[in-house]
Structure 1
Amino acid sequence: MKETSKEFFDQPMDEKKVVCQEYAGEMEKLAFKLMEIICLSLGLPGGRLKGYFEEQTSFLRINHYPPCPFSDLTLGCGRHKDFDFLTVLAQDDVGGLEVKRNGKWVPVKPDPTALIINVGDICQVWSNERYKSAEHRAVVNGEKERYSIALFLVPSHHVMVKPLEELVSEKDPPKYLPYNWGKFYATRNRSDYKKQNVDNIQIHDFRVPN
């Protein structure tokens, strides 16, 4: 898959439109299995969330970070939290992924034989914050190019995302107002292309005030 990634980025734009379908299918199977496990960990039936993905909008993203001699001044991907349910990430042996822990950016040691699983914002909302999405970013390497491949598991456009009724109670009320996934995604995509200092929509915009 990593060799395919390099071949992919070396191709003309017209030839980049269709690639890696078999890989995406296998990663999707893994993502759905992990979703079942998360449901069970919350005391829910394994298939509790399956209905939200009947017309799923999941997608695969192949990232290429060229080397940059001014790596301390160049950011490959700015700090963010994944807006999906969960992300299955494969990366090569070139470091670059960092997660925020106790207010500091901590490098994730690269392991090309392992997959990284990121819990996304939708999982945070559905679980009423029993699971929380992690803030992360990607920095470039000064000498080596870096590749990563991410499968984002996201529900159907029409789905209303809100804390699951089984996980809320009088003692633990909903922490988020409902939002439509399709509208959220469209708004987020539009704001991603605005100026760097313009905040894009986040799930905390729907958080119920304490």
Structure 2
Amino acid sequence: MRSLTPEPPLEEKYGDLFRKYSNGDTVEHGEGTFNTEGVEEMELPLIDLGRLSLGGKEEEECKREIALASQEWGFFQVVNHGISREVLERMKSEQVKLFRRPFMEKVNDACMNFPMGSYRWGSPSATRLSQLSWSEAFHVPMSNISGLTGRDNLSLTMEQFATKISELAQKLGQILAEKLGQDPMFFKEHCLPSTCYLRLNRYPPCAVSSKIVGLMPHTDSDFLTILHQDNIGGLQLVKDGKWIAVKPNEDALIINIGDLLQAWSNDVYKSVEHRVLTNQHKERFSMAYFFCPSYDSIIQSCGEPQVYRRFSFREFRQQVQDDVKRLGYKIGLPRFIL
């Protein structure tokens, strides 16, 4: 019975899209097409944050590498990041238990008194296979984590994880602002713990994995995203105009630049399109922290001539939501170019 199974009914919900594809529909995204096969695997730039505590040339070289990777890749990975393996492993264990709950419990937010609508699965606006994300997730505002009732192992572990990862995001934001010659306190003033989000992801096995992505191609609508993933793999990003597969490293956290930081830096730092592929036999788990400002925060390019007009985070999010609802996919920053 569905009430007892943990799996979201993806095949049942999107059966018409499968049948449409089998009848000759092409896999499209926007106006183009994408290929999920034959992608080269590469390692992201790896940065040891322990060097920041050494001072002098070591500290400055570490900061330079962070800024350079943000310009050239839009992605990098870090070790000695301040979050212990014990916390990460405990977080993964509790996350797995959460997703093992019966599907209807997750839909009804009966797992842990998460805020209404925290649990999401599939892609409600999908009109073709390329717009379908074969995944399920809990999207939880940071402001709700400390207020979760029950104070069980998951809530306590989430709070500990969120506190540490918030500190890391602030540290990285400060470095990136500093290397632009901007106020290093900008993010401390605009990105409060209460304005950020934590997303717990699960990508179920998919029998037709060559035709469906776990998460459709997109850029992130924040300043920074910090990701911890397992060793299954599947994360891909665009580098020099082609897709590359990211080699998993369970000891590292992955950092990627979001749309807001690209706009704020006047295109110095790059928000890069990325996606997650499905796996035919194995499930994949990840945890993502989204470093966001308040809805009323104004994003203004810090360089001249300015590439983007001034806009609020609220306005940006609303435009993204409108586009996804109307088109099935996100447009993002091009909507705000001067």
- Judge same fold: TM > 0.5, yes or no: yes
CA contact (8 A) 1:84 1:154 kept: yes
Q: Residue type of the partner of 2:111?
A: E
Match of 1:188 in 2: 320
Question: For the residues of structure 2 that align with 1:6 and 1:191, how far apart are their CA atoms?
Answer: 33
Question: For the residues of structure 2 that align with 1:93 and 1:54, how far apart are their CA atoms?
Answer: 31
Q: Residue type of the partner of 2:310?
A: P
Q: Tell me by how many angstroms 1:184 deviates.
A: 1.9
Question: For the residues of structure 1 that align with 2:251 and 2:191, how far apart are their CA atoms?
Answer: 29
Larger displacement relative to structure 2 (65-74 or 197-206): 197-206
Using a 3 Å threshold, how does the CA distance of structure 1 residues 94 and 54 change in structure 2: closer, same or farther? closer
Q: Residue type of the partner of 1:85?
A: F
Larger displacement relative to structure 2 (45-54 or 66-75): 45-54
Question: For the residues of structure 1 that align with 2:183 and 2:330, how far apart are their CA atoms?
Answer: 34
CA contact (8 A) 1:84 1:121 kept: yes
Q: Tell me by how many angstroms 1:191 deviates.
A: 4.2
Question: For the residues of structure 2 that align with 1:206 and 1:56, how far apart are their CA atoms?
Answer: 26
Q: Residue type of the partner of 1:125?
A: A
What SS does structure 2 have at the residue aligned with 1:90? strand
Q: Residue type of the partner of 1:206?
A: F
CA contact (8 A) 1:56 1:157 kept: no
Question: For the residues of structure 1 that align with 2:236 and 2:193, how far apart are their CA atoms?
Answer: 32
Using a 3 Å threshold, how does the CA distance of structure 1 residues 106 and 54 change in structure 2: closer, same or farther? closer
> What are the superposed Cα offsets for residues 23-68 of structure 1, whole Å, 9 maximum, x if unpaired?
1221111111110111111122421332222575210001100011
Q: For 2:308, which of 152, 168, 176 is the aligned residue?
A: 176
Match of 2:334 in 1: 204
Whether 2:190 is the aligned partner of 1:52: answer yes
Match of 1:7 in 2: 97
Match of 1:69 in 2: 207
CA contact (8 A) 1:184 1:201 kept: no
Larger Rg: 2
> What are the superposed Cα offsets for residues 106-133 of structure 1, whole Å, 9 maximum, x if unpaired?
1000111110000011111111111111
Whether 2:267 is the aligned partner of 1:129: answer yes
Q: Tell me by how many angstroms 1:73 deviates.
A: 1.1
After superposition, residues 117-156 of structure 1 pair within 5 angstroms as 117-156=255-294
Q: Residue type of the partner of 2:235?
A: L
Select the structure with the greater relative contact order (CA < 8 A; seq sep ≥ 6). Answer: 1
> What are the superposed Cα offsets for residues 66-125 of structure 1, whole Å, 9 maximum, x if unpaired?
011211011111101111000000000001100012222110001111100000111111
Question: For the residues of structure 1 that align with 2:232 and 2:184, how far apart are their CA atoms?
Answer: 36
CA contact (8 A) 1:56 1:154 kept: no
Q: Tell me by how many angstroms 1:134 deviates.
A: 1.1
Using a 3 Å threshold, how does the CA distance of structure 1 residues 5 and 86 change in structure 2: closer, same or farther? same
Question: For the residues of structure 2 that align with 1:36 and 1:124, how far apart are their CA atoms?
Answer: 15
Q: What TM-score do the two structures reach when normalised by structure 1?
A: 0.88
Q: Residue type of the partner of 2:312?
A: N
CA contact (8 A) 2:216 2:276 kept: yes
CA contact (8 A) 2:296 2:314 kept: yes
Q: Which runs of 5+ in 2 are unaligned?
A: 1-90, 115-147, 149-154
Q: Tell me by how many angstroms 1:186 deviates.
A: 3.3
